[in-house]
Amino acid sequence: MKSKFLRVLLAVAVTYTFSALAQTGSAATPSSPAATSATPAASAPVTTGTTTGTKVGTISIQDAIFGSNEGQRDMQALQKKLEPKSAELKNQNDELEGLKKQLTTQQDKLNEDALNNLKKTIEGKQKTFDRSYQDFQEDVQNQQQDIATRILQKMAPMIMKYSQDNGFALILDTSKVWPQSPVLWVNLEQIDITKAVVEAYNVQSGVPAPVAPGAAKPAAPKPSTGAGAGAAAKPTTPKPSEPQKQ
């Protein structure tokens, strides 16, 4: 069974701002020889929308980064790298769930000392698991951020040049949906340039399309619920990387 834990953690968008694109924008202006020489010829322009004479387009920065061959390759490598830690967390979670089940089924049969010892053991292991799980999430987010930042630094000049070459006056990022994004509604089929940018970036990067892994990944844990008395509360974690309930 493929791990929902890793699928959710690795498939979601990293939380970065469009300021990263603005910071690299100076390298993407027509006056920049590096940007011009490094960027392949623009693909055929897509049908676009106009607002008061302004040519408007959209792009999902998230999809462009992680949909590129380089992004897919690096995310597969990250997932492979994280498998040992994921397996370790699963083992911790399984042990914890076993102890909680023992508490539920045997608490009426245990003497007071044995019951208290079992509760203390569960509480200690719960705290250890929660800390390890939160550290794992933060590590995943940081490494996702590194991948996204590195690719965006190379992709941003291409986005700028493609937009200029095809007469766009405004490009909106649709990685997030309203109300997190200012874009309330848009017909992406008419004005989206994500696919064209990804195709051009794949040519520039020279990275071949990665082969999808054939073997199923080992299941990784979701945070244990506080089923037993004395169980510590689950850590508060960033929403994009919060695992789904199984």
Q: What is the pLDDT of residues 196-228, one digit of tens each?
A: 999 999 999 999 999 876 644 444 445 544 443
Determine the 3-state secondary structure of 176 from DSSP.
coil
Classify residue 215: in a domain, yes or no.
Answer: no
**Residue 214 covered by a domain:** no
Residue 226 lies in a domain: no
Q: Is residue 172 part of a domain?
A: yes
Find the range with the poorest average confidence among 24-33, 46-55, 190-199. Answer: 24-33
Whether 72 is in a domain gets the answer yes
Peptide linkage before 45 cis (omega within 30 of 0): no
Percent of the chain exceeding pLDDT 70 equals 65
Domain residue limits at 54: 4-209
Structure tokens at 97: 């769930």
Identity of the residue numbered 60: S
- Tokens representing 17 are 């701002």
Confirm whether 80 is domain-assigned: yes
**How many structural domains are present in the chain?**
1
Neighbours of 38 (CB within 10 A): 15
Residue 33 within a domain: yes
Residues whose CB is less than 8 angstroms from the CB of residue 1 and which lie 6 or more positions away in sequence, other chains included? 216, 219
Q: Is residue 35 part of a domain?
A: yes
* Confidence (pTM): 0.63
Helices (H), strands (E): how many in the chain? 8, 3
